[in-house]
Amino acid sequence: MLLLIGLAVSYIGLNFLVRWIYPRQLFPYRGSSYESLPGLITVKSGDGNEVAFIVQPSTESGASVLFYLHGNGEDIGTNADRFAWFNDQGYTVIALDYPGYGLTTGTPTGESVRTATLAVWEYARDEMQVAAEDTVVWGRSLGGAPATFLATQEKFRGLVLESTFRSVFAVANLPVPLLIAEPFPTESIIAEVPCPIFLFHGALDRTIPASHSQKLAEEAGDSAELFLFPEGEHNNLRFVGENEMIQVLNTLRRRDATSEVKQPH
């Protein structure tokens, strides 16, 4: 009897830990690296948050669009070099901050991140005339989860997942099922993505093991292509995998793109 009580208390304690403490590990970033940025726009999401995002145009006419979802330890202000690199590959960049990140209001949760992502995409599509067929969705680390969610909503040009996880609970390696819902069930929805999927992961990644991308590629089936880099860690793939990333971007880029990204006034 005492054993059962002990197990029950442990189980309740584990649920408490995941529900109240683990989110602080999942969303560690606080504050903002910027007060303003070129091309900064805000839009209200369905849950009432003001979502900050930027539009950073490519200098090339008829450029494809890259819709970017960043990791959990950064904001759009810390990604200037990466966005410039995407511009150099012929892509106009649209990138947002999650609730509680940068100048976006609210509290980060799985649901609020998805709602913010959808709000920015709908604004880009409806107000800026960005076409899904001209748009590559790219998610890095945690950003792979909302990127995959978004890619289930419409048929985009392609989905790129960089160093991402199959689920939060799988990263935590929890021993038993919990009473709370998985905040980012990427593994269970990736088969619903109707566009080509490209996964990049480092074999030396100690933050999110490469087995996560391997499992996602398996679940996605024939629509997915996996790139594993022997020298890749969690934060260096753009350097050790640059040639392969450029190859994928060139494959996905539409030089006859119909989208003319209209800057809002």
Say what the pLDDT of residue 59 is: 84
3-state class (DSSP) for residue 59: coil
Alpha-carbon distance of 9 to 13, in angstroms, equals 6
Q: What is the pLDDT along the chain (265 residues), one digit of tens a residue?
A: 544 443 343 444 444 445 444 556 688 877 899 999 999 999 999 999 999 999 999 988 777 999 999 999 999 999 999 999 999 999 999 999 999 999 999 999 999 999 999 999 999 999 999 999 999 999 999 999 999 999 999 999 999 999 999 988 777 665 545 545 668 999 999 999 999 999 999 999 999 999 999 999 999 999 999 999 999 999 999 999 999 999 999 999 865 555 556 665 5
Say what the pLDDT of residue 176 is: 45
3-state class (DSSP) for residue 131: coil
pLDDT digits (tens, 9 = 90+) for 39-54: 999 999 999 999 999 9
CATH code, 37-252: 3.40.50.1820
Residue with the two structure tokens 């200098």:
59
The enclosing H or E element of 94 equals strand 91-96
Phi-psi region of 96 (alpha: psi -120 to 50; beta: other; left: phi over 0): beta
* Alpha helices, DSSP H, located in the chain: 2-16, 22-26, 80-88, 110-127, 144-151, 168-172, 186-189, 211-220, 237-240, 242-252
Q: 43 has which bridge partners?
A: 51
Domain boundaries, the chain: 37-252
For the whole model, what pTM was predicted? 0.88
Residue closest to 70 by CA, chosen among 159, 164, 4: 164
Other CB atoms within a 10 A radius of the CB of residue 132 amount to: 20
pLDDT digits (tens, 9 = 90+) for 215-242: 999 999 999 999 999 999 999 999 999 9
Alpha-carbon distance of 128 to 126, in angstroms, equals 6
